[in-house]
Structure 1
Amino acid sequence: MILISPQRAEYLYWMGRYIQRAESMTRLVISLFDKILDEDFDDAKKVYSNLGITLTYDSSQAFLRQSVFDVEYASLLSVISAARENAILTRPNLSHRMFSRINALYLAYQKAKEERTVSLYWLESTLQELDAIWGNLELSLVESKEVPLIQLGKVIERMDLNIRIYDSMEAAVLDLEKLNSIAHKIRPNSKPIGLSSSQKQKLLHKINSVYGTLAYVTES
């Protein structure tokens, strides 16, 4: 059993989700930028519609600006801000190095927002920072009990976006074994999670309800 307060456990879980969301969406934005330039100018509008978001860009740079800074609740800046907020709330559970990396990434976004144009080179460089955050995860935490909670958020977010954006049941299934392994670390007597439905909304509900079935922990 992982002994940690329910509130703090949830913050760690959501920090993992937001960091993964930042990584996945950054890769998506870079890919869509290339498609806007070389293939289909409206492709990003179609993809973001799967997230319930309407984009109204009139140039590739306008798309970058919107997706990185301006889309309410869904911009990369807002996702990084949410990751940082959860990191602040779990500050005692994080090493100085890990917290500093998350905070530095947030400050880099704030600085970049002041520029007139968004640099694709800069955006690509943020992926290195996100990779470094994941790379230091197990080494930098004060205690290993936090790791599975953050990892759970990471894998659930990845599964959610693969289904939500790409309708990819196959990609979600590939993560299922890892999800069950992490769930077992959090709650050893938990039943294995299965994905039997092929209906998108049912799958999303099932995946996003996993944390709730494991949120039984109490203060140590």
Structure 2
Amino acid sequence: MILISPQTAESLYWMGRYIQRSESMTRLIIALFDKIIDENFNEAKELYEKLGIALHYTSSQAFLRKSVFELDFISLLYVINTARENAILTRSHLPNRMFSRINALYLKYQAAKEEPTVSIYWLESTLQELDAIWGNLELSLVESKEAPLIELGKVVERMDLSIRLFDSIEAAVWDTEKLNVIADKIRPGHKKILLSSSKKAKALATINSVFGALITSHES
């Protein structure tokens, strides 16, 4: 891979993670909204506990507003804003259309925050915006030095949330091959990542150490 600064590499990686986090959490919030209404009112409280978040709500609408706009460090607005901040730091490395879509999604959230209620249909529409952001990555950064770093963040985040939220190491194992393919683009000949442990903490540590190991090895 053509050398870029460690700071830029890290920002690209975390941008990928936060975009994927926004997609995963959006899908999760939509599913939880339905379950709160139809099945188990406390479903969201129980799941957010796995993230170390004490979530309190009195209605399905209150759950939407808190999860989308109000929770510190984990609301969708916070996640989108953090993705945007990393995009700003790496703007010269991104296609203009991709950066514009990330910024537009942030502004869409800011506008929706001022509305008296959160529309589940509006939230569902944001998934189309996220799909478009990933589409710009695939179309505009083919064979570029930046794309593997963003893709690495995307896959690591997906694996991380699978384990944290659903205790599904098996699902994360399925992504290991893809993780190794991406890692090889960043540093050819890297040591393959293996994920077979049934221990949640060890699996999370392995997944979240991949970026640092690749960048450190590349620098040395």
Tell me the TM-score normalised to structure 1 length.
0.97
After superposition, the C-alpha distances for 1:5-58 in whole angstroms (9 at most, x for unaligned) are 110000000000000000000000000000000000000000000000011100
**Is 1:23 aligned to residue 43 of structure 2?**
no
- Give the whole-Å Cα distance in 2 for the aligned partners of 1:121 and 1:196: 39
Q: How far is the alpha carbon of 1:142 from its aligned partner?
A: 8.9
1:101 aligns with 101
- Structure 1 runs (4+) deviating above 3 angstroms are none
1:130 aligns with 130
2:12 aligns with 12
Amino acid in structure 2 at the alignment position of 1:62: A
1:195 aligns with 195
**Is 1:178 aligned to residue 178 of structure 2?**
yes
After superposition, the C-alpha distances for 1:89-143 in whole angstroms (9 at most, x for unaligned) are 0000011100000000000000000011000000000000000111110322497
1:79 aligns with 79
1:35 aligns with 35
* More RCO (CA 8 Å, sep 6+): 1
SS at match of 1:144: coil
1:53 aligns with 53
Sequence identity percentage: 73
- Give the whole-Å Cα distance in 2 for the aligned partners of 1:138 and 1:51: 31
Report the count of equivalent residues. Answer: 218
Q: How far is the alpha carbon of 1:169 from its aligned partner?
A: 1.0
- Give the whole-Å Cα distance in 2 for the aligned partners of 1:43 and 1:54: 13
SS at match of 2:178: helix
**Is 1:213 aligned to residue 213 of structure 2?**
yes
1:91 aligns with 91
Tell me the TM-score normalised to structure 2 length.
0.97
- Give the whole-Å Cα distance in 2 for the aligned partners of 1:171 and 1:196: 11
- Give the whole-Å Cα distance in 1 for the aligned partners of 2:209 and 2:172: 15
After superposition, the C-alpha distances for 1:67-94 in whole angstroms (9 at most, x for unaligned) are 0000000000000000000000000001
Mapped contact 2:173–2:196 kept (Cα < 8 A):
no
**Is 1:3 aligned to residue 3 of structure 2?**
yes
- Give the whole-Å Cα distance in 2 for the aligned partners of 1:182 and 1:139: 17
- Give the whole-Å Cα distance in 2 for the aligned partners of 1:200 and 1:82: 26
2:44 aligns with 44
SS at match of 2:20: helix
Q: How far is the alpha carbon of 1:204 from its aligned partner?
A: 0.6
1:161 aligns with 161
- Give the whole-Å Cα distance in 1 for the aligned partners of 2:115 and 2:37: 22
Amino acid in structure 1 at the alignment position of 2:134: W
